[in-house]
């Protein structure tokens, strides 16, 4: 089918080429006709739509696996080299299609004519030369001859298609610059999807942990303090609704492959995060020093998620134990620290726990910002609190410390 389409293109353009050959002396017409046809085919391949049509056509009819043509937005095409390659492809397509059709059609005509003459009782036909076809048994040779001619016609079509299939990647495939641009675009999409997955993990993980604690608080206070239980249930409803909104937003982006347009969370939203943690019934002491507006936007966005993961980790493993948060902004550094006490089984369990995906994600964020990250138990008598004071009485007790130090200078 693809080969015949090439012949059809040549057939459609032939009348124009005939008109061009008609205006020259008869001696020049055998040269002018193919030259005019070649010029017309070349011009047909120059528009951008020719390449956009040729690639899917070859993929569907020839069975090739050519990538879609690069867009102008990628900065790599379709430029002048691609247009000339498309013209060369169309020339090859029409030439191959015309040659194959010129061979296949006579073969098919003779393949059907020979048995037809034999069945009518025999006669003389002309096939490049006069051929006498006898009737009866003597003319039965026309059947295998017709079969051989049909096979030869099929082989001719397959050979033409194989030639086009082999040359299609050379003329319709991507240039090295296009392949590099396509690979970079794919890497950007993968990075965006990985970032969205990390955002989803951080947001939903924090919400589920806080919701679990709030549900437990509401259950315990249902009879003794209905007002506080009602407040816990209201907070549970609010954070669950926010989690559903985040889930719908991120899943929509992953489905459509669109970049996120929602404003990212940053350290400016830290008070709201702390209120949600306190609403879960956790005693949280926050020590925020320095100007958060001094933190660059990229660092601020990542730092919000780092703090969120630290608080989520504390809520998940420290039950309702008090939690201390320290955020310190200096001229050249941002320090984030979340600390909670370890007692009994909690201390033994966390000491032997493998680092989960949340801590791994936080460590990756800090590494991208060229900072230092540590998370683990601090033995009794160690220095748990990096700042001044001991708001939750951790000094001298075993505790879990989640710490990140991120540079804010030009190297960040």
Read off the pLDDT of residues 45-74 as tens digits, 9 standing for 90 and up: 888 888 888 888 888 888 888 887 765 444
pLDDT at 411: 44
What sign results for the dihedral spanned by CA atoms 95, 100, 103, 109? Answer: negative
Q: Which CATH class, in words, describes the domain spanning 266-412?
A: alpha beta
Please tell me the distance from the alpha carbon of residue 162 to that of residue 168, in angstroms, as a whole number.
Answer: 10
- Residue 301 clears pLDDT 80, i.e. is over it: yes
CATH of domain 188-262: 1.20.5
Lowest mean pLDDT among 27-36, 247-256, 365-374: 247-256
User: Mean pLDDT over residues 132-159, rounded?
Assistant: 89
User: Mean pLDDT over residues 274-296, rounded?
Assistant: 85
| Residue 338 binned pLDDT confidence (cut-offs 50, 70, 90) | very high
3-state secondary structure of 328: strand
Please tell me the distance from the alpha carbon of residue 303 to that of residue 300, in angstroms, as a whole number.
Answer: 5
Q: Pick the residue with more confidence: 288 or 194?
A: 288
- Residue 170 clears pLDDT 50, i.e. is over it: yes
Burial of 163 (0-12, 13-18, 19+ CB in 10 A): middle
Please state, as a whole number, how many other Cβ atoms lie within 10 Å of the Cβ of residue 288: 14
Q: What share of the chain in percent tops pLDDT 70? A: 73
- Residue 108 clears pLDDT 70, i.e. is over it: yes
Residue pair 296/348 in contact (Cβ under 8 Å)? The answer is: no
Lowest mean pLDDT among 124-133, 283-292, 400-409: 124-133
Residue pair 339/399 in contact (Cβ under 8 Å)? The answer is: yes
> How does pLDDT run across 126-144, given as a tens digit for each residue?
777 788 888 888 888 889 9
The CATH 3.30.565.10 domain(s) of the chain lie at 266-412
Please tell me the distance from the alpha carbon of residue 89 to that of residue 44, in angstroms, as a whole number.
Answer: 11
- Residue 256 clears pLDDT 70, i.e. is over it: no
Q: What is the mean pLDDT of the chain?
A: 78
pLDDT at 382: 52
Lowest mean pLDDT among 87-91, 105-109, 126-130: 126-130
pLDDT at 34: 87
| Residue 404 binned pLDDT confidence (cut-offs 50, 70, 90) | very high
- Residue 364 clears pLDDT 60, i.e. is over it: yes
- Residue 191 clears pLDDT 90, i.e. is over it: no
- How many H-runs (helices) and E-runs (strands) does the chain carry? 11, 7
The CATH 1.20.5 domain(s) of the chain lie at 188-262
User: Mean pLDDT over residues 76-84, rounded?
Assistant: 65
User: Mean pLDDT over residues 210-235, rounded?
Assistant: 74
Lowest mean pLDDT among 107-121, 171-185, 278-292, 329-343: 171-185
| Residue 388 binned pLDDT confidence (cut-offs 50, 70, 90) | very low
User: Mean pLDDT over residues 239-248, rounded?
Assistant: 67
Please tell me the distance from the alpha carbon of residue 35 to that of residue 28, in angstroms, as a whole number.
Answer: 11
| Residue 205 binned pLDDT confidence (cut-offs 50, 70, 90) | low
- Residue 324 clears pLDDT 50, i.e. is over it: yes
- 132's enclosing H/E stretch is strand 129-133
Q: What is the DSSP-derived secondary structure letter of residue 68?
A: P
Q: Pick the residue with more confidence: 199 or 67?
A: 67
pTM above 0.85, yes or no: no
| Residue 150 binned pLDDT confidence (cut-offs 50, 70, 90) | very high
pLDDT at 352: 47
Q: What share of the chain in percent tops pLDDT 90? A: 15
Q: What is the DSSP-derived secondary structure letter of residue 116?
A: H
């Amino acid at each position: 089918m693809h080969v015949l389409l090439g012949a059809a293109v040549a057939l459609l353009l032939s009348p124009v080429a005939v008109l061009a050959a008609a205006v020259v002396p008869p001696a020049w017409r055998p040269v002018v006709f193919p030259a005019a046809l070649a010029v017309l085919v070349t011009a047909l391949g120059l528009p951008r739509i020719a390449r956009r049509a040729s690639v899917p056509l070859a993929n569907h009819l020839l069975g090739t696996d050519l990538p879609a043509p690069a867009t102008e937005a990628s900065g790599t095409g379709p430029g002048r080299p691609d247009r000339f390659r498309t013209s060369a492809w169309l020339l090859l397509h029409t030439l191959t299609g015309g040659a194959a059709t010129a061979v296949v059609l006579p073969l098919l005509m003779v393949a059907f004519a020979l048995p037809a003459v034999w069945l009518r009782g025999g006669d003389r036909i002309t096939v490049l030369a006069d051929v006498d076809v006898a009737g009866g048994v003597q003319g039965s040779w026309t059947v295998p001859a017709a079969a051989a001619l049909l096979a030869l016609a099929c082989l001719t079509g397959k050979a033409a298609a194989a030639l086009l299939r082999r040359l299609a990647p050379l003329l319709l495939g991507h240039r090295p610059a296009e392949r590099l641009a396509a690979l970079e675009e794919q890497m950007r999409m993968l990075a965006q999807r990985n970032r969205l997955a990390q955002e989803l993990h951080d947001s939903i993980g924090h919400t589920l942990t806080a919701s679990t604690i709030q549900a437990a608080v509401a259950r315990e206070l249902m009879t003794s303090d209905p007002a506080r239980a009602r407040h816990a249930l209201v907070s549970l409803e609010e954070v669950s609704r926010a989690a559903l909104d985040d889930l719908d937003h991120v899943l929509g982006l992953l489905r459509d492959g669109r970049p996120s347009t929602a404003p990212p969370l940053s350290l400016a939203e830290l008070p709201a995060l702390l209120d949600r943690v306190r609403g879960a019934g956790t005693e949280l002491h926050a020590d925020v020093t320095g100007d958060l507006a001094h933190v660059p936007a990229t660092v601020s966005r990542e730092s919000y998620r780092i703090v969120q993961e630290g608080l989520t980790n504390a809520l998940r493993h420290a039950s309702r134990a008090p939690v201390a948060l320290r955020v310190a902004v200096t001229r050249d550094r941002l320090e984030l620290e979340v600390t909670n006490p370890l007692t009994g089984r909690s201390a033994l369990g966390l000491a032997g726990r493998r680092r989960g995906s949340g801590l791994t994600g936080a460590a990756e964020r800090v590494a991208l910002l060229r900072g230092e990250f540590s998370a683990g138990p601090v033995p009794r008598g160690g220095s748990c609190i990096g700042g001044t004071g001991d708001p939750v009485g951790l000094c001298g007790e075993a505790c879990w410390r989640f710490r990140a130090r991120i540079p804010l200078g030009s190297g960040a």
